[in-house]
Amino acid sequence: MKQLTTLVFLTLISVAPGAYAQNKVVVIPMAADAQINTGLNNGDVLGYVIVNSVGTVLKSWMATGGTPTVTHNMTGKYEITWPGESFSILDQNAQATINSASPHFIALDSIQSKTLVHTHDASGNPSDPFAFSVTLFQDDNP
């Protein structure tokens, strides 16, 4: 018997300041052992994590079977450790998505094998959004 899980894609459409942003959500039921094809041609998915505003991991998956951990000690700053992976923004690809009721920005960096996530409000001030997700990909480049 195959267990079903759900894959959710959230697309945020950027609009002019002061205008309303439109969110589109596509929910796709999937078998638990299904392969995810991103269509980005940038390699295999190594893992993902969904994190709330206080740094709690809401959901995660790792190809290595581990569980990512998140440290959140400052407003707008999160550090993700991927077990079994030595992440560098120069050697691997990552994609971040932010979920917030108001316009927010998200940026990724790396330090000491960790993924650094920086979140800011529309004015550029560090801010903790409702939630965000980060997907880690294996780079195809040798």
The pLDDT assigned to 5 comes to 41
pLDDT above 70 covers what percent of the chain? 67
Q: Where along the chain do its domains lie?
A: 36-137
Calculate the average pLDDT of the chain: 74
18 φ/ψ angles, rounded to the nearest 5 degrees? 90, -15
The pLDDT assigned to 81 comes to 92
Greater pLDDT, 32 or 77: 77
Residues in CB range of 37: below 8 A, 6 or more apart: none
Give Cα 19 distance to the centre of its chain: 25
pLDDT (average), residues 5-29: 41
- How far apart are the C-alpha atoms of 11 and 27, rounded to whole Å? 12
